Chains A and B, each alone.
Chain A
């Protein structure tokens, strides 16, 4: 077997990819929705369209455990941020960026502390409360995508949060390819795509969220990289209709390669797009200094105990 490099740093697998590209079990995939023949579609010349890049970050500030009615309860204090970057013409700038903090407890418990909003989940495991923080972030991303949509541009959302928007001009960008969706012989086409090229759209019907999707190449890989390096999958809600989905997919293919990052700027190059990378950095900055936040929590707990 000839091995090739997956250029992302090895430890990027550690943050759990809770819902990024969950395998579509039992989904019906139709690869003929756009074209009867399966062939690479070359990019059209880029049009002057305003692009919005929506992203979110989250951080666990402290894990907490409590005992309610004698039952051990898991919880966490976490921060999340969601925002967007607007890139139009020769200027990219940060749009709205929000920061929220939550104290999430399992078993439906609620507590208030500092400025962490109370939130609860019915499950009571460390992973469940973390999952809840993730879904709060996804919700915030969705709101942000809705906020950015309808302004006459194209909205690119990192991950599957776009699904809940129902807006007409929102494209989900899935950075990691875990699932082929199409048969192996068709998937082989993905490896041969050139920069800006895409596969024809295929539909994914899983009964939960029907959508159109295609693979698209952001950047050509180095010879030592696996041919899948530099590939993203975009998703568009089926509700927008095939025609609109096709337009959006072509728009994505013509626009996105411009925003692809390079390895010296971003370890997750090229899939972590430049505006997204800068936005993440900015959002993490706005989350505040983790050491300071942690100390604030500890101080507050000390004071509660003294009382």
Chain B
């Protein structure tokens, strides 16, 4: 049963959508507490207002001077404590918008009351977002993610606290491991780009450092902790080596080396993804690239290496792109040349069994593509090509389900606010049409203010990890009330603020330690006890 924690106070205006409550000092009321208050509304019957505590204020009552506190501490002046909390109403049931009356008892909402307050009761399909401060599950409405009413998740937060990608993988884990997808689970796919470090290369290994209390948190969310069961890991082929060896760090076994054939590169017109710098719009290079693509697609040149291909293009450029100035052609050539050492080895002529080295995002439930070792231009190329392939595959399929999830960090690089580039177009396309095509983008970036507005605007779920306080003042975070913005500056790893369409106030959510390994050491077999005798 919900427990009384205070009363609606009458010294501040109580309104249908927000009000203050006074709480006895011994009653510990904290931010994010879910509360409810009932009110008799005459003919309308009983109205219940559900809400979330978003401010808590304590004062000395009866003190008039700041120094009264010293007198109170000396035992000379009798002062009493007053603790009040501000409640933002999330739901009114039935929808009779009346203010709660001062003096009405306010209860901490638990069980069904809590579910109602946070709209969990109306979510026919829900996925775990994490746990609230009081250790209760927090859910998201899957209808706002799978495209039926909305789609996409956008995660902002400063880097270095390993929160963004960890949370993105946690969300995927919850979506895949709960019964949410039903029969479609097997055909639902996710694609993760590992852009930094090797965090995501061990998703298929259970985390040996997972403590029992963390496992209990998974259980609370209805999940069984463990590794991702069905994972394919791709890494680029090693540079300067004829053999197809995956260029990975500590992760050795079970990694597929990927590259593209010159045939596919030409036929599928991938050249443009070598020219993705945002400044390209200011010159004619992209038009030259398009011309060249056309020619290459018409007749694939018989060359063995990308270097040869580049030379062939250079020779033909005067004919293919004769309409452009010599300066433009020279610029194009320069860039093409500089791509050779950076990207060239990923595009190869005669690969014996090319199919084994092609990224197939439908092979496993989860596909991890490691690009962290690649040069920035190569990263863009891989992301651009893979995403376009996936998008085209989904377009051909023509149905929204089974869904395809894409996890991409550093969106600020690939979909910056300013400028135009082929890769940005793919991401924008995904953000705008992905909802109907069943391509769900879980994008992350340090600063949402530097991302293309439409990418962020199309995200139903907005997630904020620890933010730089100046960044938190930007308009992109207008969905956060002032207190949440301030809190975003001090969030610890493992804690995030989630905003979702149905709940009018963002929720502070904690998510458990990853049950899958996030680095080599965590994937190890538990070592024998090294020091059996305690110091």
Q: How far is the CA of A85 from the CA of B78 in the complex (A)?
A: 7
- B75 and A88 contact, CB distance less than 8 A: yes
- A90 and B75 contact, CB distance less than 8 A: yes
- B73 and A264 contact, CB distance less than 8 A: no
At the interface, yes or no: B72 with Cβ under 8 Å from chain A? yes
* B62 contact set on A, CB distance < 8 A: 278, 281-282
Q: How far is the CA of A265 from the CA of B62 in the complex (A)?
A: 12
At the interface, yes or no: A94 with Cβ under 8 Å from chain B? yes
Residues of A in contact, count (CB < 8 Å): 19
Q: How far is the CA of A48 from the CA of B79 in the complex (A)?
A: 21
- A92 and B65 contact, CB distance less than 8 A: no
Question: Residue on B with the closest CB to A92?
Answer: B78
With A265-B65, A278-B62 in contact, is A92–B80 under 8 Å at CB?
no
- A92 and B76 contact, CB distance less than 8 A: yes
Looking at chain A's contact residues, is the secondary structure mostly helix, strand, loop, or mixed?
Answer: mixed
- B76 and A259 contact, CB distance less than 8 A: yes
* B73 contact set on A, CB distance < 8 A: 90
- A278 and B77 contact, CB distance less than 8 A: yes
- A278 and B78 contact, CB distance less than 8 A: yes
Q: How far is the CA of A85 from the CA of B80 in the complex (A)?
A: 12
At the interface, yes or no: B71 with Cβ under 8 Å from chain A? yes
Question: Residue on A with the closest CB to B63?
Answer: A278
The distance from the CB of B371 to the nearest CB of chain A, in whole angstroms, is 63
At the interface, yes or no: B74 with Cβ under 8 Å from chain A? yes
Residues of B43-99 whose CB lies within 8 A of A? 62, 64-65, 68, 71-80
- A278 and B79 contact, CB distance less than 8 A: yes
- B65 and A275 contact, CB distance less than 8 A: no
- A274 and B65 contact, CB distance less than 8 A: no
Q: How far is the CA of A84 from the CA of B324 in the complex (A)?
A: 96
Q: How far is the CA of A92 from the CA of B78 in the complex (A)?
A: 5
With A264-B65, A278-B62 in contact, is A94–B78 under 8 Å at CB?
yes
Q: How far is the CA of A282 from the CA of B80 in the complex (A)?
A: 10
At the interface, yes or no: A186 with Cβ under 8 Å from chain B? no
Q: How many A-B residue pairs have CB under 8 A?
A: 41
At the interface, yes or no: A128 with Cβ under 8 Å from chain B? no
- B78 and A93 contact, CB distance less than 8 A: yes
* A279 contact set on B, CB distance < 8 A: 78
The distance from the CB of A51 to the nearest CB of chain B, in whole angstroms, is 9
At the interface, yes or no: A27 with Cβ under 8 Å from chain B? no
* B79 contact set on A, CB distance < 8 A: 92, 278
Question: Residue on B with the closest CB to A91?
Answer: B75
The distance from the CB of B82 to the nearest CB of chain A, in whole angstroms, is 13
Q: How far is the CA of A282 from the CA of B79 in the complex (A)?
A: 10
* B64 contact set on A, CB distance < 8 A: 265
Residues of A265-307 whose CB lies within 8 A of B? 265, 274-275, 278-279, 281-282
Residues of A41-82 whose CB lies within 8 A of B? none
* B65 contact set on A, CB distance < 8 A: 264-265
* B75 contact set on A, CB distance < 8 A: 87-92
0/1 per residue, A19-55, Cβ < 8 Å to B? 0000000000000000000000000000000000000
Residues of B174-196 whose CB lies within 8 A of A? none
* A93 contact set on B, CB distance < 8 A: 78, 80
Our pick among A87, A94, A281, A282 for the contact of B76 (Cβ within 8 Å) is A87
* A278 contact set on B, CB distance < 8 A: 62, 77-79
Q: How far is the CA of A265 from the CA of B68 in the complex (A)?
A: 9
Q: How far is the CA of A90 from the CA of B77 in the complex (A)?
A: 10
With A265-B64, A281-B62, A282-B62 in contact, is A275–B80 under 8 Å at CB?
no
At the interface, yes or no: A222 with Cβ under 8 Å from chain B? no
Q: How far is the CA of A90 from the CA of B68 in the complex (A)?
A: 14
At the interface, yes or no: A258 with Cβ under 8 Å from chain B? yes
With A264-B65, A281-B62, A282-B62 in contact, is A275–B77 under 8 Å at CB?
yes
A-B contact pairs, 26 of them (CB 8 A): A87-B76, A88-B75, A89-B75, A91-B75, A92-B72, A92-B76, A92-B77, A92-B78, A92-B79, A93-B78, A94-B78, A94-B80, A258-B74, A258-B76, A259-B76, A264-B65, A265-B64, A265-B68, A274-B71, A274-B76, A275-B76, A275-B78, A278-B77, A278-B79, A279-B78, A281-B62
The 4 closest A-B pairs by CB, nearest first: A92-B78, A90-B75, A85-B78, A274-B77
Beyond A92-B72, A275-B78, 12 additional pairs, beta carbon < 8 A:
A88-B75, A94-B78, A259-B76, A264-B65, A265-B64, A265-B68, A275-B76, A278-B62, A278-B77, A278-B78, A278-B79, A279-B78
